[in-house]
Amino acid sequence: MASKKTRRPNRTSTRIEKDSMGTMEVPADVLYGATTQRAVLNFPISHHDMGWQTIHAFAQLKHAAATANQKLGKLDQRRCNLIRRACDTIMEELENPGTRRGMMRHFPVDVYQTGSGTSTNMNVNEVVSNMACQAAGKKIGAQDPVHPNNHVNMGQSSNDTMPTAMQIAAATHAKHILLPGLKQLEKSLRKKSRQFDKIVKIGRTHMQDATPIRLGQEFSGFAAQIEYGIERTHSAIRALAENMPIGGTAVGTGINTHPRFGKMVCSELSKETGVRFREAPNHFEAQATRDCIVDAHGHLNTIAVSLSRIASDIRLMGCGPRCGIGELELPEIQPGSSIMPGKVNPVLVESVMQVAMRVAGNHVTLTVGGMGGTGSLMELNLSMPLATVTLLESITLLGNSAEIFAVRCVDGIKANKKAIDETVERSLMLGTALAPIIGYNEAAHIAHECYYNGMTIREYCLQNNVLPEDELNKALDITSMTHPDG
């Protein structure tokens, strides 16, 4: 029997790059170098990279750093221009969804890497260096005229660039994704509040009937929650932007950098992003802790709680359509069941509630990462890559879900006035309005009698001559019950 010819596996063409540990085979068609390749081999864990927002922030940071170093006389104009052009290209391609995927293949380092984020910082340094070398007419990997450490990373350490990039990404993402989403939702809720202002429904406390409330008043409460959420987002952005670690280098002392470097980088970043970034007043706090991240995410966690509460109440008021509360008619956007024909579920509401659950879980992750123990060691927090992607995920989820909730659900909500009117008149809590006139105990007695006899408060009072009819009608005016007595 003839033996089968052994076929050699196809191998991707490679090139040789070098770093401080020696040479390394790197795929020929990527822009990163030896240190990145070591990280790729060391951390095949989640197969999730750091995300385009983080890399975009790093490119902004390297661009600003090159400008600052040139102004400080540390970096010549030619190298500065090469670095800035490479960073501009990275940012432009990441901002375009059509080219984003192609650019991100050059930034493959896994989220679960070294806790300082050194691998991602070096990944960016190597890509910028190789792009600059190519632009200068040199071979990729030449490290001349732009070296990844000597020039791209000049005046920096992974220990101050990683937390700085984290804060740039989160602050700008909150500004451009979360704030617009929340503003859209607040606008939609305010509109519904005005639209429903004259509709009086029964209020509920402890899931039991309570005194009347206008549907518009309920929605005004929802809108106020989101208004406060917008204020909390601004507070989160300030927490991130006003305590920038850049300039602290390795342990916060600023070794190997110019004393004015951090302030100048923050000034450049402010011009580029429209967010007012400030150098940390105490670099030892800014690098050893991630308190600003925990603080910022605390605001996000509160926003998630607000969204979940609003979504939960709207879902409950819309339950039915015939055998539930049925006060609201939610937009029908897709079939709700694979077995029950005609069933429609509040799918967008449930999506928002799941986002809130995820954000709440993310807050636990960031709390544990920020509090120390295995997450920190003396002068450096060691959970920064995970903290970065977790924070950005929460911002993205909240911003996107708020906008979609507004446009695809809230804007299309209708009030079921017939169901609302029937429910209000049957409520035993209308007797609350009688308490100031006939006393609490007598009003409670009437409510119990109505419950056992199946009567309404109005019917019982008329039948038993509790009050003259005109006085009774005035007392049981449901609209007046939704205003202070004053």
What digits encode the pLDDT tens for the residues 392-416? Answer: 999 999 999 999 999 999 999 999 9
Domain end (from 396, 417, 438): 417
Do both 352 and 410 map to the same domain? yes
Domain with residue 391: its CATH number is 1.20.200.10
Give the SS3 label for residue 24.
Answer: strand
Distance CA 297, CA 455 (A): 52
Distance CA 240, CA 387 (A): 13
Q: Decide: 258 and 72 in contact? Cβ < 8 Å.
A: yes
337 is catalytic: yes
pLDDT the model gives residue 376 = 65
Cα dihedral value 107, 113, 117, 122, nearest 10: -50
Residue stretches of the chain with pLDDT short of 70: 1-12, 373-376, 485-486
Q: Decide: 401 and 355 in contact? Cβ < 8 Å.
A: yes
Catalytic residue among 3, 13, 206, 483: 206
Do both 189 and 126 map to the same domain? no
Catalytic residue among 46, 337, 445, 448: 337
Instruction: Please indicate, yes or no, if residue 9 is contained in any of the structural domains.
Output: no
Q: Decide: 268 and 79 in contact? Cβ < 8 Å.
A: no
Per the structure, the count of domains in the chain is 3
Domain end (from 398, 417, 436): 417
Do both 167 and 294 map to the same domain? yes
Domain end (from 92, 126, 154): 154
448 is catalytic: no
Domain holding 86, by residue range, is 15-154
Instruction: Please indicate, yes or no, if residue 2 is contained in any of the structural domains.
Output: no
- pTM for the whole thing? 0.93
Domain with residue 66: its CATH number is 1.10.275.10
Distance CA 366, CA 297 (A): 8
Do both 245 and 284 map to the same domain? yes
pLDDT the model gives residue 11 = 53
Instruction: Please indicate, yes or no, if residue 381 is contained in any of the structural domains.
Output: yes
Instruction: Please indicate, yes or no, if residue 40 is contained in any of the structural domains.
Output: yes
Q: Which amino acid is at 348?
A: L
Distance CA 328, CA 189 (A): 14
Give the SS3 label for residue 329.
Answer: strand
The alpha carbon of residue 428 and the mean position of all alpha carbons in its chain are separated, in whole angstroms, by 43
Do both 338 and 251 map to the same domain? yes
Instruction: Please indicate, yes or no, if residue 5 is contained in any of the structural domains.
Output: no
Distance CA 21, CA 17 (A): 11
Distance CA 451, CA 458 (A): 13
Do both 126 and 72 map to the same domain? yes
Distance CA 431, CA 438 (A): 10
